[in-house]
Structure 1
Amino acid sequence: MAAGSPPLPSGKVTIPFYRDTRIIAIIVQIVFAIAVAALLWYLYSNMMNGLRQANLLPTFAFLSVPASFPIAESVIPYDPSMTYGRAFLVGILNTVRVAVIGIILATILGLILGIARLSDNWLLRNVALVYVEIVRNVPLLLQLIFWFSLTRLFPRIQESIDVGGLLYLHNRGVTLAWPQAASDFGAWMVWVYGGIVCGVVYYVIRRIQFARRDRPGVAMPQAFLIALGVAVIGFFTTYFVYGAWPVSLSIPELQRFNFVGGVTVTNSFAALLVGLVIYTAVFIGEIVRSGILAVSKGQREAARALGLTPGQTMRLVILPQALRVIIPPLTSQYLNLTKNSSLAVAIAYPDLFYVASTINNQTGQAVPVILMLMASYLSVSLLTSLFMNWYNRRIQLVER
């Protein structure tokens, strides 16, 4: 007779909840969340009690009150009779202007610097090395103060330093020639919009063709050239039809006490922009250098075997592959440049932080002003990150 099997248990053995690690983990998380919420509520209650006793309860009603303080430089029209909300908007736009121009110039300078660091020319390579080592080891705030002090040493406006008749340096800032729209500018803009439409249509059609053929392809450069070509044709057509250029260059002319024509930027803006560009370009240059070194040596040898010149090899082979390494850390440098612009308060440039500090001093509404300040910087940073992450996804290799 075969040996019988051991009897099966009549029911499933359960573990007490106080010994079940999964339940214990959930309980610990709940307790921790309650403790954090209680701490935040305690801090909030203390803050509100203190503000209530000081008769400074948070409110955003002050945004509709006249600001009554001037702003030296503004992208949009502003005068002291306008509201605090308008003044805060001026601060945001001033910061965005510095950030956008600074990012473009720092990227160009950083790209040149990164390539120069890898140059075969001994002098160029070592000059770039000295520049990197000096600039990145000096605090940015000190550099901004240096550039601001340097602009204050320029001669008075009647004795401005003339650079080719298009640029003048003086102790009030920098005056330079600037494009100015003419009376027939609107007619030319019709061509510009038409060029944009043609470029978009071409891009969409080409992308559809690439998708149908299941093959990679680049359509953006051709689309951009089409849009630019239509705009250039429209520029000359407008001139021949109306007898005047749609855009003219406004040349500054020195009158008795000031310049007429062109555009003048203040010492603070010039010093801030130069300081941010020179400082940030150092880190961008090192990122570009590391990205180029990350491309395998075989890619250069293959390009040389195809007969490409060193310039073509860098532009067509090395840089497109290096971008996949460059873009992620480059995003951090763009964000750093935007946030570092808050140091403008040290050289009296009316950026977002400078204007917000003035509003806080006049209204006493520290909490709402700080919340608005944080939300503004957060929004600009998130928009920059979203764009760079989108571009990073576009250039990444897609595994099949």
Structure 2
Amino acid sequence: MSKTHQEKIPFWRDSRVIKVIIQIIIVAIILLLIAIFSNNLVNNFRQLGLSFGFGFIFDPDLNSRFNIGDTPIPYQPTDPYYRAILVGLLNSLRVMITGIILAFFLGVIIGIGRLSDNWLVKKIATIYVEIIRNTPLLLQLFFWYFAVFLKFPKIDDPLIIFNSIFLSNQGIYIPFPLGNLQSLLSILSLVLGTIIAVFIWQKQTQVIMQQGTTGKAYNIVLMMMGFVSILIIFLGLDWQFPDYDSQMQRIQNGLNLSPEFATLLTGLTIYTAGFIAEVVRSGIQSVSKGQWEAAKALGLNSGLVMRLVIFPQALRVMIPPLTSEFLNLAKNSSLAVAIGYNDIYAVSNTISNQTGKSVEMLLVVMMTYLIFNLIISSGMNWLNRLVQLKEK
């Protein structure tokens, strides 16, 4: 005789309930430990006659009292500490963002070069990867700083390239657009053109995959848009070129990249690109040989095979390790203190020495890098979900 209803399982035997209870217990234990350590920290500070808090950062009566070499925003030693922290934060951000972009493109080029049929290109890419990956980053930073950028000519006799780039031991001076209406409209035109080009490129890809044509008409449109973009860059933007002032014995105008910034950016880019190159190589090699043969059987040239068939499939394998490399670049930027670049870590270290608030500033640095890395990992996880196969 069959039962009319199932017997209800007691909650202490229900695996789903047990899992939830275990997670609640773990979270409670973690929160309890945090509360114990925090209370212990506050008590120890009180016994030593010290106070714990972050109010000094925003206190207008407390001046930072130290100079910062690279200041993307106006800053004076008489400013409060939060202003100095903001400068260090922006310095870290511009190294991380620029370094991630440059390292990715350089790594892709080197990774594809490792698979080239050209013997010389393949060997050069292999030597690059082997040397860079097996040399400590700190040693590479010292090399770029002391053996390259500080060895540039003195400021009174700079090395001039194309009459627009000045190299000296006080930094690299390059042309930079003025912040006026003409440059703003030109930049907006470039952004709009890039968006349109992406849509055209996607349409071309669909036509090639569905109809088997080469999409020459789309290529012509993209080439014309590229030509117009070049004209906008050279003629539309209101460029400010650096020039040497002989009376003041300094280079003025243009964008100044300090030796410390140039060293850190170069070192991080070249070092991380060596690891990204191996990620790209392994990702491409993970695509089965049959995919290459099938794409070539359709009459696609090598460039289209890589762009439409191989690289999209390789991305599904590449993105997780790429995330790790981007996170490593962000964390490795803290080595800036070794060459005197004022990033968030170096600024916080100076503030802790002045105020004795070492624990507070350590927490500020930890939270800063944690937020940076969470943003990077969240963006890469979103991209990873975007390229994965969609199951129906």
In 1, are the aligned partners of 2:182 and 2:238 still within 8 Å (CA)? no
Q: Compute the displacement of 1:83 (Å).
A: 1.1
Give the structure 2 partner of residue 239 of structure 1: none
Q: Compute the displacement of 1:49 (Å).
A: 2.6
The 2-side partners of 1:292 and 1:28 are apart by 42
Give the structure 2 partner of residue 251 of structure 1: 241
Q: Which moved more, 1:388-397 or 1:39-48?
A: 39-48
In 1, are the aligned partners of 2:75 and 2:83 still within 8 Å (CA)? yes
Q: Which moved more, 1:82-91 or 1:183-192?
A: 183-192
**Does residue 302 of structure 1 match 2:294?**
yes
1:58 pairs with 18, 35, 52, which one?
Answer: 52
Render the CA deviation track for 1:270-328: whole Å, top value 9, x for unaligned: 10000000100011000000000011111111121122222221122211111111111
The 2-side partners of 1:79 and 1:63 are apart by 15
Runs of 4 or more consecutive aligned structure 1 residues displaced over 3 Å after TM superposition: 20-46, 181-193, 195-200
**Does residue 136 of structure 1 match 2:133?**
yes
**Does residue 48 of structure 1 match 2:46?**
no
Give the structure 1 partner of residue 175 of structure 2: 177
The 2-side partners of 1:63 and 1:368 are apart by 10
Q: Compute the displacement of 1:21 (Å).
A: 12
Give the structure 1 partner of residue 367 of structure 2: 375
Identity %: 44
- Equivalent residue of 2:51, what SS? coil
The 1-side partners of 2:378 and 2:28 are apart by 33
Render the CA deviation track for 1:154-212: whole Å, top value 9, x for unaligned: 1101222222223222111111122224454456577678x489969x97xx99xx9xx
- Equivalent residue of 1:165, what SS? coil
In 2, are the aligned partners of 1:71 and 1:350 still within 8 Å (CA)? yes
Q: Gapped runs of 5+ residues in structure 2? A: 1-6, 207-217
The 1-side partners of 2:100 and 2:281 are apart by 18
Q: 1:1-400, aligned counterparts within 5 Å? A: 40-64=34-58, 65-150=62-147, 151-185=149-183, 195=192, 247-256=237-246, 257-400=249-392
The 3 A distance-change label for structure 1 pair 145 and 189 is closer
The 3 A distance-change label for structure 1 pair 392 and 177 is same
Structure with the greater alpha carbon radius of gyration: 1
In 1, are the aligned partners of 2:183 and 2:238 still within 8 Å (CA)? no
- Equivalent residue of 1:169, what SS? strand
The 3 A distance-change label for structure 1 pair 311 and 165 is same
The 2-side partners of 1:146 and 1:198 are apart by 40
The 3 A distance-change label for structure 1 pair 283 and 185 is closer
Q: Which moved more, 1:322-331 or 1:60-69?
A: 60-69
The 1-side partners of 2:304 and 2:25 are apart by 62
Q: Compute the displacement of 1:42 (Å).
A: 4.7
Q: Gapped runs of 5+ residues in structure 1? A: 1-11, 211-221, 237-243
The 2-side partners of 1:280 and 1:59 are apart by 37
CA RMSD between the two structures:
3.6
The 3 A distance-change label for structure 1 pair 35 and 314 is closer
The 2-side partners of 1:129 and 1:69 are apart by 45
Give the structure 2 partner of residue 9 of structure 1: none
In 1, are the aligned partners of 2:178 and 2:238 still within 8 Å (CA)? yes
TM-score (norm 1): 0.78
Q: Compute the displacement of 1:114 (Å).
A: 0.4
The 1-side partners of 2:21 and 2:386 are apart by 43
Q: Compute the displacement of 1:56 (Å).
A: 2.3
- Equivalent residue of 1:274, what SS? helix
In 2, are the aligned partners of 1:107 and 1:281 still within 8 Å (CA)? yes
Amino acid at match of 1:106: A
Q: Compute the displacement of 1:35 (Å).
A: 7.0
TM-score (norm 2): 0.80
Amino acid at match of 1:172: Q
The 2-side partners of 1:77 and 1:162 are apart by 29
In 2, are the aligned partners of 1:98 and 1:273 still within 8 Å (CA)? yes
